[in-house]
Structure 1
Amino acid sequence: MDLPFGEVDPAEFDALVIPGGRAPEYIRTDPDVARIVQYFFDHELPVGTICHGAQVPAALGLLRGRTTAAFPPLKTDVELAGATFADAPDVVDGAMVSCRGWPDLPEWSRAFMRVLEKSAR
């Protein structure tokens, strides 16, 4: 893929992590973010979402039919995006691994590593 200098080629990466905080609220509208996230979902590559990170695939219509964790106040947003909200520390749905927030990182990390190991085979 020929990309302009400075653009990210998602094919050069094995996995994607979308962290939480306020950033997902803003980056979910960026066309480059959409291009990159869409690539990982289209190729069924590992995608991790933490806390508010679920806002990005939700905005892109990528959560429809999936089960995901997210920061608990996002339950309605997740459901409106067509997903099932799970109040758990390590939700695995295919190649996507999600959690509610930073306190879940130990469980989320173990689950994400298992998905990465499967993907590497």
Structure 2
Amino acid sequence: MSAKKVLIVTGDAVEALEVYYPYFRCKEEGFEVDIAAPHQKKLNTVIHDFEDWETYTEKPGYKIESNKTFADVDPSDYDALIIPGGRAPEHIRMNEELPGIVRHFFEEVKPIAVMCHGSLVLTTIPDVVKGRKMKAYQACKPEVESIGAQYVDEMDFVDDNLVSGHAWPDLPAIMKEFVKQVKGTTVNT
């Protein structure tokens, strides 16, 4: 039996924990993991934290290598999708290749994990997200609702194959469910 394949779609300004934690967690499970971005390069990550501001703060983080471009991705080669947050989603969603990639995972009912601002990527495919329930960073609530999805006020949420969370503190719960789904033990369709 071949290893499960997971695709992470992101770009510069991805939240460091939201790309590194899922990447290493999937590798720990023996999954093959590709990181796709608009360009194949070392991506700049950012560290978002909740300090004494009324919003999160941002600092430079580690670099992480993208080993594929969106143009090189055939989504049918993958068993699951991860969309991390940070500021990357606001600009990668403009890439003409990305909506078709993400759409594939919804239409084929494959496991999808979306963290924080990752929900912004879904604004390009409202027809397949309409009616779904999900969690996202609180500032993304208007975008979630504008695409016809229901914003849920829980820290992490499972709607069949869509696992979503508010921010990086939700990663343990998100990844626990996501790993179960990739292994084929919990998806209800």
What secondary structure sits across from 1:31 in the alignment? coil
CA RMSD across the alignment: 1.8
TM-score computed with the length of structure 2 as normaliser: 0.57
Tell me, yes or no, if structure 1 residue 82 matches structure 2 residue 148.
Answer: yes
8 Å Cα contact 1:48/1:98 also seen in 2 = yes
Query: What is the CA distance between 1:63 and its match in structure 2?
Result: 2.1
Query: What is the CA distance between 1:8 and its match in structure 2?
Result: 0.8
Cα distance change on mapping 1:56 and 1:115 into 2, 3 Å: same
Higher radius of gyration, 1 or 2: 2
Q: Where in structure 1 are there 5+ consecutive unaligned residues? A: 1-5
Provide, for residues 55-101 of structure 1, a one-character-per-residue CA deviation record: whole Å limited to 9, x for no partner: 11133213210000000111111111111111223211121110001
Higher RCO, 1 or 2 (CA under 8 Å, sep at least 6)? 1
* Structure with the largest fraction of helix: 1
Sequence identity (%): 39
Distance 2:80 2:155 in 1: 19
In structure 2, which of residues 124, 130, 135 is the aligned counterpart of residue 64 of structure 1?
Answer: 130
8 Å Cα contact 1:67/1:84 also seen in 2 = yes
Distance 2:178 2:167 in 1: 14
8 Å Cα contact 2:99/2:124 also seen in 1 = no
Distance 2:176 2:154 in 1: 14
The residue number in structure 2 matching 1:49 is 114
- Give the number of equivalent residue pairs: 116
TM-score computed with the length of structure 1 as normaliser: 0.87
The residue number in structure 2 matching 1:3 is none
* Structure with the largest fraction of strand: 2
Tell me, yes or no, if structure 1 residue 17 matches structure 2 residue 115.
Answer: no
